[in-house]
Amino acid sequence: MLLQLHNVFKWVNSGGQRIFLLKDINLQVQQGEFISIMGPSGSGKSTLLNVIGMLDGFDEGEYQFLDESVHNLKEKHRANLYKEYIGFVFQSYHLLDELTVKENLEMPLLYKKFKGSERKAMVADMLDRFNIVGKKDLFPAQLSGGQQQLVGIARALISNPKLILADEPTGNLNSKQGEEIMGLFKQLNEEGVTIIQVTHSEKNADYGSRIINLLDGRMI
Amino acid sequence: MFRNYIRIAWRNLLKRKVFTAINILGLAIGFGSSILIYLFLSYHLSFDQFHNNPDRIYRMVTEEHRDLIDYEASVPPAFSKAFRENYEYAEKVAKVVVQYGSIIDTETNGDIRKFKEDVAFIEEDFFKIFNFPLLDGSNNISLSEPNTAVITEEFAEKMFGSTLVVGKTFVLENDKAIKITGVLQNLPSTTFLKEQIFVSFVNLEDFFEFAASESWGGITSNLQCYSLLKPNQNVESIEDALLALPKEHRPDSKNKHVYKLQPLSDMHFNPLYGGIDPVLLWVFGIIGAFLLAIACINFINISTAQAFYRSKEIGVRKVLGSFKAHLFWQFLSETFVISLFAVMLGILFAALFLPSLNNLFELELSIQSLLTIEFFGFLLLVLASVAFLSGSYPGILMSRIVPVLALKGKLSHSDTGGNTTRKVLVVAQFAISIALIAATLIISRQIEYATNSDLGFDKESIVMVEVPVDLEPIQYEALKDRLQRIPNVENITFCLSSPGGSENNWGTSIKYNNRPENEEFSIQAKIGDEHFIETFDLTLVAGRNFFKSDSITEVVVNEKFGEKVGVTSPDELLGKTIEVNGASIKATIVGVVGDFHDVSFAEEIQPAFIAGNPNWYGEIGLKINRVNTKETLEKIEQHWSEAFSGYIFDYRFLDERVADEYEAEQRYLSLSKVFSALAILIGCLGLYGLILFFVGLRTKEIGIRKVLGSNVANILALFTMDFFKLILIAGILATPIAWYLMEQWLQGYAYRTEIHWWIFALAIVSIMVITLITISYQTLKVAVTSPVKSLRTE
């Protein structure tokens, strides 16, 4: 088992009232799954994804990730954990505008103390794999949305994560580009990468192996 | 990793060109000023560091204890010999007497040239004490023979156009032929020694008998006495032993001498003995630090404001594995890149403005003199500390940004933090500017007060020319007669020195009205003929002017004299006797004039007497009508040159001479003007950066406000009010501090202007106006933009 959420609650206090963002979430994710989280706006999809990605904390419950009890870990330790095992893909790509494609791909490696030659090899590998060798010296603004998301996914994959978290990865793309990206996810999943995506689209959800529906912070 | 940081830093800087330019320019001005200040300070700190045993060299000085203590950087003429022969402390002792403005003639191949130069008469050991080598590097200088001299390389070039001048002669004061026996290497600019011509001490008695004599009777500031002590001497016990000298040689004098040893290293920095005021150096250093601080504040303000725009990048980096430390160092390297550019630009600024600094302080500092290890050490230190100071706070702020919010674009401006800090820093900037403006106003008011107040005498349109040699009374009359006939010359007086700009307080041992005891104070002797009072327009408050006479039988005193001897009404002084200098002058007081400022406003008015004695006249004062001034001066020169053939005509207007008394103050004023201007300039750059940012942030808000009916003025007020509040707080903080410090400065003046509250109000209002001008362009631009446009961009 990759991760397990047990009775997870998350809330904010607003005007004397407790508003629940997540309510009693119980979730098990196995290695190799492709899960889609669905639900209307404000139902807590992104919050759940952030909690899984350890970018956000929660107020009650337990979270096991690869036998580590995330809820008991210190901030720094937790950061180490997600940096090691989790890759993120964003709706608006979040490539750094000042960096070229190649440099964007290289950036996560810089923080992981790979040697220069190793980094070069890994970046070259990734450029190859995603067929974007010709674009390596371009800046994000010079790419189409689909291409940018491609780079975003390549960047998420470069340090070999066990889990990819994707928050509406096709939300800013047209349908053709969206299909390509989803195809890519499907392929990655077949190669063994676990994927959890947040999506609005039934069509995209169908690429996955399991769908989790949220409403008002609760799984239904 | 580091290369990556630098590369990203570079691209970030290019992307935000305006902010980068503001940051670099502000820091460059700060660096440039620091470099100049460094040059200035290191110049002063390097004074006389090149001698062989600097810690054993002392100057002999005198404290004169009367009713007040006077500090003289000199000793009686007999001191040198006594200290050399009767005591065991010194290895070498030498005295130097300078004759200012001596006339020197040279002849090269029939071409006769005249110079007016300061000449030093020196005892032989002078060049054994100090390290001023000859051209060949040795100090084998002998001036024991009369009529011998050594001169500097520079002066040899000036006199003869060559440095091969050993054996050549020049004529001193149209009298003595002096042979040059050696040529010295040029004197460094960082030494107390300013003279270029050194003549055997034996010759001095022909020119300045008193200084050449073995007298204990008085002190002339032309004389200085230096000593190289034997190793391991205790200065205090030497000074104790020297207490016996005045007891032995001046037992009855009311002017009690105490001889002191002043270390060489103290000479340049002790204002009591004519050195510069070290406070000036401190002020310089602190202001340099302030300017850098203001530039750093700009940097911090703009960077923290920008943290908001960079939050996405930071969020991404964090999610992709960056730790806080990574982000911190990344940001610091950006700061470093900016600082590096700023330093380079700052060096350029320094090179550009060095001539102005040299001009202001009459220095010859060169930018080449910066090529030292110390300077690069200094630069590196400043660079590192500026980069760290201005980079670390924004770095910490940015590394704290929460990635989830940043990536969702949900980060509000207040979440990036630094708002309060930014306000505090802006207040600090404003406070420094306000304090500097107030200081500038106060200094200029004091100068204004000192130069434009009624000094008790007339200084306008009075030309002072020198009397280079003693004349017979009949010659005076003849010259006076001729000068009198020049049209536009209204009045003439022959005198020792004019009121204002003189330092002749040699009148001591005063007896008033046959009192048994000498008075304790000293007196200013204003020697001049019977036209003195009229020419300088002094006010007679009692009695009459003195009559013309060959010797002093009648004197006029000032009101201060009456005050000092304890007489309340000037009329009581009339008819009383006065003796000065142990009865060498004995006369009746026939008149009293109102007090006049003989010295600068820094000092109290002293008692003075006015009397005629043709033997002591050194100057002619001519009151002229200021039409055809040039022609009048030419005529004066013509008659003067006929009377004093062989001498060089030189004149000075009295008001200029009085203004020269405030040279130091004028420099303070120029400096405080420059520094306030720089502080304001850097501050404005920062403000411009901030307003650019705020306007960008509130474009939408302005759009909404306009749709809801607010006009341009409302919107302008919206932005300016925030700043005006900060300026007011800054003013409230700066006023008491600046008030206190300037009050301290004014305490140095016996006659001083008052500090008014409106000076600070004026400073605050001017900062408000400057701020309004700085921010109005950007603000107006967004205020007049159609709201449709600004709302659509959202």
The DSSP-derived string for B332-354 is: HHHHHHHHHHHHHHHHHHHHHHH
pLDDT on residue A163? 93
Coil, strand or helix at B375: helix
pLDDT on residue B192? 92
CB A77 within 8 A of CB A85: no
Distance CA B88, CA B83 (A): 8
Distance CA B498, CA B620 (A): 9
Q: Does some domain include residue B254?
A: yes
Q: What is the per-residue pLDDT across B676-708, written as a single tens digit (0 to 9) for each?
A: 899 889 888 888 888 888 887 777 777 777 777
Question: Could you give the percent of chain B with pLDDT greater than 70?
Answer: 96
Q: What is the C-alpha end-to-end distance of chain A, expressed in Å?
A: 22
Distance CA B612, CA B585 (A): 11
Per-window interface: B 6-45 vs A, CB < 8 A: 7-8, 11-12, 15
Residues B66 and B86 in one domain: yes
Tell if the CB–CB gap between A111 and B319 is shorter than 8 Å.
no
**Average pLDDT over every residue of B560-580:** 89
DSSP characters over B176-212: EEEEEEEEEPPPPSSSS----EEEEGGGGGGT-HHHH
Q: What residues in A contact B321, CB-CB < 8 Å?
A: 83, 108, 111-112, 159
Give the gap in angstroms from C-alpha B397 to the nearest C-alpha of chain A.
18
Burial B188-198 (b: 16+ CB within 10 A, else e): eeebbbebbbb
CB B665 within 8 A of CB B446: yes
pLDDT on residue B415? 61
Write the CB contacts of B381 (distance below 8 Å, at least 6 apart in sequence): none
The band of B769, judged by pLDDT with boundaries at 50, 70 and 90, is very high
Give the gap in angstroms from C-alpha B377 to the nearest C-alpha of chain A.
33
| Chain B interface mutation, best of A55, A90, A95, A103, highest count of B Cβ atoms under 10 Å | A55
pLDDT at B173 over 60: yes
Tell if the CB–CB gap between A99 and B403 is shorter than 8 Å.
no
Of B267, B288, B319, the residue at which a domain comes to its end is B267
pLDDT on residue B793? 45
Q: How many CB atoms lie within 10 A of CB A137?
A: 10
> Domain A32-55+81-212 belongs to what topology?
Rossmann fold (3.40.50)
Residues B598 and B674 in one domain: no
DSSP characters over B668-712: HHHHHHHHHHHHHHHHHHHHHHHHHHHHHHTHHHHHHHHHTT--H
Tell if the CB–CB gap between A94 and B407 is shorter than 8 Å.
yes
Nearest Cα residue in chain B from A167: B408
**Average pLDDT over every residue of B453-478:** 84
Tell if the CB–CB gap between A108 and B321 is shorter than 8 Å.
yes
Does the CA dihedral B527-B532-B537-B538 come out positive or negative? positive
Tell if the CB–CB gap between B312 and A94 is shorter than 8 Å.
yes
The number of distinct structural domains making up chain B is 4
pLDDT on residue B502? 61
**Average pLDDT over every residue of B96-113:** 86
DSSP characters over A162-188: SEEEEESTTTTS-HHHHHHHHHHHHHH
Q: Which residues pair with A29 in a beta bridge?
A: A3
pLDDT on residue B272? 87
Distance CA A146, CA A189 (A): 19
Q: Which residue has the higher pLDDT, B417 or B616?
A: B616
pLDDT on residue B757? 92
Q: What residues in A contact B408, CB-CB < 8 Å?
A: 46
User: What is the ipTM for the molecules in this complex?
Assistant: 0.76
Q: Domain limits of chain A?
A: 32-55+81-212
Distance CA B63, CA B644 (A): 39
Q: What residues in A contact B4, CB-CB < 8 Å?
A: 103, 106-107, 110
pLDDT at B444 over 50: yes
Taking each helix axis as running N to C, give the angle between helix A101-110 and helix B2-15, from 0 to 180 degrees, rounded to the nearest 10.
130
pLDDT at B792 over 60: no
Nearest Cα residue in chain A from B320: A108
Q: How far is CA B160 from CA A160, B170, B181, in A?
A: 86, 10, 15
Q: Which residues pair with B528 in a beta bridge?
A: B495
B11, B319, B322 member nearest A98 (Cβ): B11
pLDDT on residue A124? 93
User: Where is average pLDDT lowest: B234-238, B428-432, B664-668?
Assistant: B664-668
**Average pLDDT over every residue of B547-553:** 82
Nearest Cα residue in chain B from A81: B321
Residues B118 and B210 in one domain: yes
Q: How far is CA B4 from CA B9, B16, B152, B397, B608, in A?
A: 8, 19, 59, 21, 78
B12, B321, B323 member nearest A98 (Cβ): B12
pLDDT on residue B766? 93
Q: Which residue has the higher pLDDT, B21 or B279?
A: B21
Taking each helix axis as running N to C, give the angle between helix B757-784 and helix B663-697, from 0 to 180 degrees, rounded to the nearest 10.
30
Residues B407 and B302 in one domain: yes
pLDDT at B345 over 90: yes
Which backbone phi and psi does B758 adopt, to 5 degrees?
A: -70, -20
Closest CA to B635 of B469, B535, B487: B487
For tokens 């502080």, what's the residue?
A: B679
Write the CB contacts of B408 (distance below 8 Å, at least 6 apart in sequence): A46
Range of the domain at B530: 469-646
**Average pLDDT over every residue of B651-675:** 85
Which backbone phi and psi does A100 adopt, to 5 degrees?
A: -75, 170
B1, B4, B316 member nearest A94 (Cβ): B316
Q: Does some domain include residue B461?
A: no
Q: Which residue has the higher pLDDT, B465 or B404?
A: B465
Q: Which residues of A touch B (CB under 8 A)?
A: 46, 50, 53, 55-56, 79, 83, 88, 90, 94-99, 103, 106-108, 110-112, 155, 159
User: Where is average pLDDT lowest: B347-356, B358-367, B413-422?
Assistant: B413-422
B312, B315, B404 member nearest A56 (Cβ): B404
Tell if the CB–CB gap between B404 and A159 is shorter than 8 Å.
no
Tell if the CB–CB gap between A107 and B317 is shorter than 8 Å.
yes
Q: Does some domain include residue B651?
A: no
Q: Which residues pair with A6 in a beta bridge?
A: A62
The band of B153, judged by pLDDT with boundaries at 50, 70 and 90, is very high
Distance CA B154, CA B120 (A): 16
Output the pTM of the full model.
0.79
Tell if the CB–CB gap between B408 and A46 is shorter than 8 Å.
yes
Residues B22 and B59 in one domain: no
Helix (H) or strand (E) holding B260: strand B256-263
Tell if the CB–CB gap between A103 and B312 is shorter than 8 Å.
no
Distance CA B368, CA B669 (A): 28
Residues B513 and B447 in one domain: no
Structure tokens, B323: 């730790």
Q: What residues in A contact B8, CB-CB < 8 Å?
A: 96, 98-99
Burial B460-496 (b: 16+ CB within 10 A, else e): ebbbbbbbbeebeeeebeebbebbeebebbebbbbbb
Q: Which residues of chain A have pLDDT under 50?
A: none
Residues B379 and B431 in one domain: no
Q: What residues in B contact A159, CB-CB < 8 Å?
A: 321
Give the gap in angstroms from C-alpha B306 to the nearest C-alpha of chain A.
16
Distance CA A3, CA A52 (A): 9
Q: What is the C-alpha end-to-end distance of chain B, expressed in Å?
A: 37
pLDDT at B53 over 50: yes
Distance CA B304, CA B333 (A): 16
Q: Which residue has the higher pLDDT, B444 or B700?
A: B444
pLDDT on residue B411? 64
Distance CA B485, CA B780 (A): 69
pLDDT on residue B452? 82
Residues B499 and B614 in one domain: yes
| Chain A interface mutation, best of B320, B327, B334, B402, highest count of A Cβ atoms under 10 Å | B320
Nearest Cα residue in chain B from A113: B1
pLDDT on residue B226? 95
Tell if the CB–CB gap between A83 and B321 is shorter than 8 Å.
yes
Q: What is the per-residue pLDDT across B383-437, written as a single tens digit (0 to 9) for each?
A: 998 888 888 888 888 787 777 777 776 666 666 666 788 888 889 999 999 999 9
B77 touches chain A (CB under 8 A): no
Residues B309 and B179 in one domain: no
The band of B56, judged by pLDDT with boundaries at 50, 70 and 90, is very high
Give the gap in angstroms from C-alpha B721 to the nearest C-alpha of chain A.
32
Burial A1-23 (b: 16+ CB within 10 A, else e): ebbbbeebbbbeeeeeeeeebbb
B312, B315, B321 member nearest A112 (Cβ): B321
| Chain B interface mutation, best of A78, A96, A172, highest count of B Cβ atoms under 10 Å | A96
CB B460 within 8 A of CB B757: no
Closest CA to B309 of A100, A166, A87, A96: A96
pLDDT on residue B614? 78
Structure tokens, B88: 């065991």
Q: What residues in A contact B310, CB-CB < 8 Å?
A: none
Q: Does some domain include residue B656?
A: no
